[in-house]
């Protein structure tokens, strides 16, 4: 349980992956690979790219508040910066 700014509390739960999660991920990857192969076979002269828009900064509000309550800084300006700062985040105790 994190207490934010003396009055707001949030609860963060750690979920442990199950074997079924891995199986679903594998089937999703297989589906993506199969679709990509079909698109390539049918439209090999064209490029089909997908780009996700950057999430709005407000999506990170709860994460940033929780991090701040533990004196951590989480960088959200890029996916790599986010991943690196989450990897580096450590709280004693």
* pLDDT tens readout for residues 51-89: 888 899 999 999 999 899 889 999 999 989 999 999 999
Count of structural domains, the chain: 1
**Torsion sign over Cα 6, 89, 24, 32:** positive
38 within some domain: yes
The pTM for the full model equals: 0.51
Cα-based torsion angle of the residue sequence 38, 43, 44, 46 in order, rounded to the nearest 10 degrees: -130
Tens digit of pLDDT for each residue in 3-25? 555 566 777 777 787 888 889 99
Domain holding 70, by residue range, is 2-88
6 within some domain: yes
12 within some domain: yes
pLDDT of residue 5: 56
Instruction: Provide the pLDDT confidence category of residue 1 given band limits of 50, 70 and 90.
Output: low
* Whole-number Cα distances in Å, 74 to 5, 14, 15: 17, 18, 20
- Beta carbons of 30 and 38 less than 8 angstroms apart: no
55 within some domain: yes
pLDDT of residue 56: 93
Answer whether residue 2 shows pLDDT above 60. Answer: no
Rg (CA), the chain: 19
Section 45-49 average pLDDT:
82
93 within some domain: no
pLDDT of residue 91: 83
Distance between CA atoms of 11 and 44, rounded to whole angstroms?
49
């Amino acid at each position: 349980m994190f207490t934010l700014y003396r009055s707001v509390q949030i609860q963060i739960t750690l979920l442990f992956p199950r074997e079924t999660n891995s199986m679903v991920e594998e089937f999703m990857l297989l589906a993506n690979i199969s679709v990509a192969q079909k698109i390539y076979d049918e439209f090999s002269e064209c490029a089909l790219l997908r780009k996700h828009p950057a999430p709005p900064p407000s999506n990170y509000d709860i994460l940033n508040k929780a991090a701040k309550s533990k004196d951590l800084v989480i960088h959200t300006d890029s996916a790599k910066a986010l991943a690196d700062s989450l990897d580096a985040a450590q709280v004693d105790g």
